[in-house]
């Protein structure tokens, strides 16, 4: 099997599990938009934005360091696993302890007084996520994509189950609608004053179950603290930490900024918290592109590292990047021309007012995926400090542009900022990378396909078709023709014969 076919096979497994998992998880979006008003959903959006920052801080680049050092010397892979997991375990204990101790001042600052349980639960969620990062990375490195997928899907399934249990079944039992004999039992633990609290508790319980699901990997862990051995990993990883924090700033700053920088009554009839809830809900539709990026990264990280020594790797990496962009263009087209259908997943009409920013966010995430492709050079040349400078530059630009554009254009401005920053970061990373690790990317061809995709979206979204079924038929035909063109023109080049 060729290298690209192997990568494609792994990506399909990771992608299928991610897509199925996200689709299951995505069912929570119409559910949440039915259960919670926009202001309440804004709390969920805001706190998960903060959690994204802490996720980076808790793992501090050790996942990538594990990949790099475990592939450099496969005989020491177990020791690298012990060192990285032990290090994260220790730091997670410290960081979560600090969060728990500071829970009261934190919730007071966030203007959620009396909700210390938010911080306490997130402290445990973050710790579990971090400690399990290296076991998940080990599954990817060892090619155990099926075990990886099963664990991820089980986690999502449990999260959905707990949400339904706490937010729907328990209230129904207490009202006497169903299973009335269980009412005394439910009363022993259920707090009817909780609302979005149960969203966070469900996440915590589902994460805790992951420890059992990954026990076959965790039981191989031998707690190891050896500063001389872990120092090289830390040196390699710390630039990735700062780059990761900058990346999260690019991705999540708008969630915080909309709450504090959006002028009062910018959107008539909506508070800034409600606008944040609307933006958080429609942002979920970029999940279609995010899934492609995530599935690709799961498979590509170990793929790139394992083939770095191959003399033909630059040409191989070029084909991989081109294939990713082609697939991303199909997703961008498919979603952007069907927003009038997708918006019905948002149960309350106020959420649908933000659907017009979805194509911008999809394109932004496509460029994010391109960045992940072209950034492989600094990982393979051990020049990870470049990632810090590029990402920090992007973060500073994100802050400045959001500060300027949110008061003028609201969450539309934030969406354009995301696109501009990811495009510039991908471009800068490509230009610098060609000096250190030249890869013959077909830039003109890639940009041509992206431009053609955007032209089709522009035209199709402005053609008035009298009936919905006729509109769907036309869109499907265009999508099939576009996909067929890509298959005919590109498939043979991207999928070489077995060697």
Whether residue 499 lies inside any domain: the answer is no
Question: What is the Cα–Cα distance from 77 to 99, expressed in whole angstroms?
Answer: 33
Domain membership of residue 42 (yes or no) is yes
Is 461 inside a domain boundary?
yes
Lowest-confidence region among 62-66, 270-274, 357-361: 270-274
Number of domains, the chain = 1
Q: Find the range with the poorest average confidence among 3-12, 59-68, 126-135, 426-435.
A: 3-12
Spatial separation of the C-alpha atoms in residues 429 and 424, rounded to whole Å: 8
pLDDT band at 146 (very low <50, low <70, confident <90, very high): confident
> The dihedral of CA 339, 340, 341, 345: what is its sign?
positive
In whole angstroms, what is the distance from residue 398 CA to residue 409 CA? Answer: 15
Evaluate whether residue 315 is within a structural domain. Answer: yes
**DSSP-H helix ranges across 142-226:** 145-164, 170-175, 183-187, 197-213, 215-218
- pLDDT given at position 306: 64
Q: Which domain holds residue 63?
A: 3-494
The pTM assigned to this predicted structure is: 0.67
Strongest mean pLDDT among 16-25, 48-57, 119-128: 119-128
Quick one: average pLDDT of 86-99? 95
Is pLDDT at 498 greater than 50 in this prediction? no
Q: Is the pLDDT of residue 440 over 70?
A: yes
Q: Which of 11-15, 108-112, 117-121, 242-246 has the highest mean pLDDT?
A: 117-121
Q: What residues have CB less than 8 Å from 171, skipping those under 6 apart? A: 192
Q: What is the pLDDT of residues 243-277, one digit of tens each?
A: 777 767 777 777 777 877 888 888 887 877 778 77
| Pairwise CA distance, residues 349 & 269, whole Å | 13
- pLDDT of amino acid 18: 55
Q: Residue 38: CB partners within 8 Å, gap ≥ 6?
A: 270, 273, 274, 275, 277, 278, 281, 348, 350, 351
Report the interhelical angle of 77-101 vs 116-131 (nearest 10°): 170
* Structure confidence at residue 1 (pLDDT): 41
| % of the chain with per-residue pLDDT over 90 | 27
Average pLDDT over residues 401-428: 91
Q: Which of 244, 247, 255 is nearest to 395 (CA)?
A: 247
Mean pLDDT of 112-138: 91
Which sign does the torsion angle of CA 455, 461, 466, 470 carry? positive
Q: Using the structure block, give the residue that is written with the tokens 């862990």.
A: 221
Q: What is each CA distance from 2 to 9, 162, 310, 359, in whole angstroms? A: 11, 43, 13, 34
Residues 6+ apart with CB under 8 A from 311: none
pLDDT-wise least confident of 189-198, 278-287, 307-316, 374-383: 307-316
Number of neighbours of residue 459 by Cβ within 10 angstroms = 11
Query: Given this model, what pLDDT does residue 499 score?
Result: 42
Give the pLDDT confidence score for residue 242 in this predicted structure: 77
pLDDT at 38 over 70: no
Structural tokens at position 365: 């995430």
pLDDT-derived band at 449 (thresholds 50, 70, 90) equals very high
Report DSSP state, residue 219.
T
Residue 281 belongs to a domain: yes
Residue 187, number of CB atoms within 10 A of its CB: 12
| 126 occurs within a structural domain | yes
Q: What is the mean pLDDT of the chain?
A: 83
pLDDT at 180: 87
């Amino acid at each position: 099997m060729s290298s690209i076919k192997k990568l494609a096979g792994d990506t399909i497994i990771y992608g299928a599990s991610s897509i199925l998992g996200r689709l299951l998880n995505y069912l929570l979006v119409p559910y949440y938009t039915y259960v919670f008003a926009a202001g309440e959903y804004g709390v969920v959006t805001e706190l998960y934005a903060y959690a994204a920052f802490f996720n980076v801080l808790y793992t501090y680049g050790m996942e990538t360091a594990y990949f790099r050092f475990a592939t450099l010397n496969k005989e020491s892979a177990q020791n690298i696993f012990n060192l990285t997991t032990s290090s994260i375990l220790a730091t997670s204990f410290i960081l979560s302890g600090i969060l728990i101790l500071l829970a009261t001042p934190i919730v007071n600052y966030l203007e959620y007084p009396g909700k210390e349980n938010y911080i306490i639960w997130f402290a445990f969620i973050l710790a579990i996520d971090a400690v399990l990062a290296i076991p998940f990375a080990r599954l990817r490195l060892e090619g155990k994509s099926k075990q990886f997928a099963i664990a991820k899907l089980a986690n999502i399934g449990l999260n959905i189950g707990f949400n339904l249990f706490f937010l729907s079944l328990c209230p129904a039992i207490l009202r006497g609608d169903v299973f009335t004999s269980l009412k005394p039992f439910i009363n022993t633990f259920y707090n009817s004053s909780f609302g979005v609290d149960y969203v966070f508790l469900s996440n915590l319980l589902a994460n805790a179950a992951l420890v059992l699901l990954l026990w076959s990997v965790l039981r191989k862990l031998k707690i190891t603290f050896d500063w001389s051995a872990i120092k090289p990993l830390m040196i390699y990883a710390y630039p990735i930490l700062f780059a990761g924090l900058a990346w999260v700033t690019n991705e999540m700053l708008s969630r915080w900024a909309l709450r504090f920088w959006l002028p009062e009554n910018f959107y008539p009839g909506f508070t800034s918290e409600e606008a944040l809830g609307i933006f958080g809900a429609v942002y979920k539709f970029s999940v279609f592109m995010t899934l492609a990026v995530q599935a690709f990264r799961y498979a590509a990280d170990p793929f790139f590292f394992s083939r770095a020594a191959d003399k033909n790797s630059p040409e191989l990496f070029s084909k991989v990047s081109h294939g990713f962009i082609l697939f991303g263009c199909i997703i961008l087209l498919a979603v952007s021309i069907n927003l009038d259908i997708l918006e019905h997943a948002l149960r309350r009409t106020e959420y649908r007012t933000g659907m017009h920013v979805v194509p911008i966010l999809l394109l932004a995430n496509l460029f994010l995926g391109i960045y992940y492709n072209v950034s492989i050079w600094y990982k393979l040349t051990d020049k990870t400090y470049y990632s810090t400078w590029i990402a920090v530059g992007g973060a500073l630009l994100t802050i400045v542009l959001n500060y300027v554009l949110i008061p003028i254009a609201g969450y539309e401005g934030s969406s354009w900022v995301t696109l501009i920053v990811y495009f510039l970061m991908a471009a800068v990373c490509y230009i610098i990378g060609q000096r250190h690790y030249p890869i013959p990317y077909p830039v003109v061809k890639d940009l041509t396909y992206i431009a053609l995709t955007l032209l089709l979206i522009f035209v199709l979204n402005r053609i008035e078709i009298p009936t919905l079924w006729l509109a769907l038929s036309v869109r499907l035909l265009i999508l099939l023709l576009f996909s067929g063109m890509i298959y005919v023109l590109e498939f043979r080049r991207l999928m070489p014969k077995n060697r």
